[in-house]
Structure formats: structure tokens, C-alpha cells
Amino acid sequence: MTTRRIMATSGGFTAGDRYSVARPGESIRRMLELTGKDRPRLTFVMTASGDDRSYLTRSYSAFTGWNVDVGHLELFPMPNRDPRAVLLESDAIWVGGGSVANLLAVWRLHEVDAAMREAWEAGIVLGGVSAGSLCWHTGGTTDSFGPDQRAVTNGLALLPFANGVHYDSEEQRRPLLHELVGNGTLGTAYATDDYVGLLYEGTEPVEVISDRPTQPASSKPGPMAYRVEHQGGTVIETPLPPGPL
């Protein structure tokens, strides 16, 4: 039986040792491991940034020396390859950050939304950061429309939950997510702090993954994920530390 998997993150890559070169974090390592392939085919989809070339170049560079075949799908100014073909030839797909509103509009125009669902149902591991996390959900909070956070409610809904990203680093994110869950604009949501990923199998979250090494015990909790739900007229936020759920 095919297992459908999505890695929804506020991270994925971490800073390298020099020259601002990124390196893959544990969430991306896990994605590649879950493909079950000795040399997986990883496809970058950077639609949310308008296929920004410097972003794409940094992402390619992060895999120097890795046993991975890396490719990408561009949609600006036009598809560089047949979207469905390139996505279904992948073992894992990583979606970069940027504007989730623009991403969803462009994907639907080029039928990438349908191809992503087909890839997911075929067992290709999907994942991404920020906009690349929000897109798989029903909706969430976004700065796609300007400096003030707003709701987006037209996600692909592969996952039947809303999503919050950059939960610990962007001050508008948490209160707005609580408000939207509380007033029914969004349903139950899962959120991630920076450098944290949430692995879904099927449509259920099964593990919280940190891209940063475990720090020595301290009085301050580290980055984690959260479940945000509306119960009995109250919004309840449940912390989900790294580890199996």
C-alpha cells in the first residue's frame, strides 16, 4: 500500500559554515530517506518566489557532494518542462518559500495543483518551507498581500488542517492564527516554529522534526510545533516538542 507523506516546515535548510551557503536540515534528510531510494530524484519548485534564480542556486549548492539527483520546475515566464511529467518523475519534491497566494494562483493556471495531488497519491514525498508548507493545507496566515498578516483559505487541502509558519519569529502569526481558528475562518491548525518540520503520513501528523541539533537542557523550551483548536468557546494551543506524536 502506498504511503502518502508531506513534510511541512518553517525550515528545511540551515546556515552553512561559510559564505552564507545553506545546508540541508534534518527535515529534508528525512524526506530523502523516506523515498527509500539510494540516489533519490529531488525536484525544487520555487514558484512562490517567482522562480528566483539566486534562491534556486543556493538550494542546488546545498546538495553539493550529496548522493541526490537535483532538478527543478520553473513556471516563470513559462514552464521549463512539462509540469506533470517532471513532478511524477521525482522521488521527493521541495517547495520554496515566498507568496503562497501567488503560488496557488499560478499552480492552478498550469494544473500543477492536480499534478501535486497525483504525486502525493503515488507516494512521492512532498515538502516545503513557509509558502511551501501552507500550500498543502486548507489555509493559514500569510503576508502574501502586504506587511500585515491575512488569512489564506484556498490551499490545496491535501491535509485537512490549517497551518501556521514562523510561529516564534513573526509576531503577527500566533495571535492571528488563534483569531482565525476561534472565529471559524480556519479549522484546527498545526503550526511550526522556525527550523521545525511536521511530518504527515496520510492526513495525520506523526512526528515533529528539528533542523537544529538538540541543545543541552535549559529552562527555556526549544522550537517546536503546536496544535491549535477551538473547543468549548476557547482556543487551545497544545505544544508538540520534537519526536514522534
Which residues does the annotation mark as catalytic? Answer: 130, 166
DSSP 107-173: HHHTTHHHHHHHHHHTTPEEEEETHHHHTTSSEEEE-TTSSS-EEE-----SSSSEEE-STTT-TTH
CA 96 to chain centroid, in Å, comes to: 8
Cα separation of 40 and 63, whole Å? Answer: 12
Order of all β-strands in the sheet with 204-210: 69-73, 41-45, 92-95, 125-129, 5-9, 196-201, 204-210, 243-244
Q: Which residue has the cell 503550526?
A: 191
Given a contact cutoff of 8 angstroms between Cβ atoms, the answer to whether 6 and 201 are in contact is: no
The sign of the CA dihedral 12, 30, 173, 242 is negative
Among 97, 160, 93, smallest CA distance to 123 is for 93
Cα separation of 220 and 218, whole Å? Answer: 5
Phi and psi at 86, nearest 5°, equal -65, -35
**Which grid coordinates belong to 216?**
543541552
Report which DSSP code applies to 36.
T
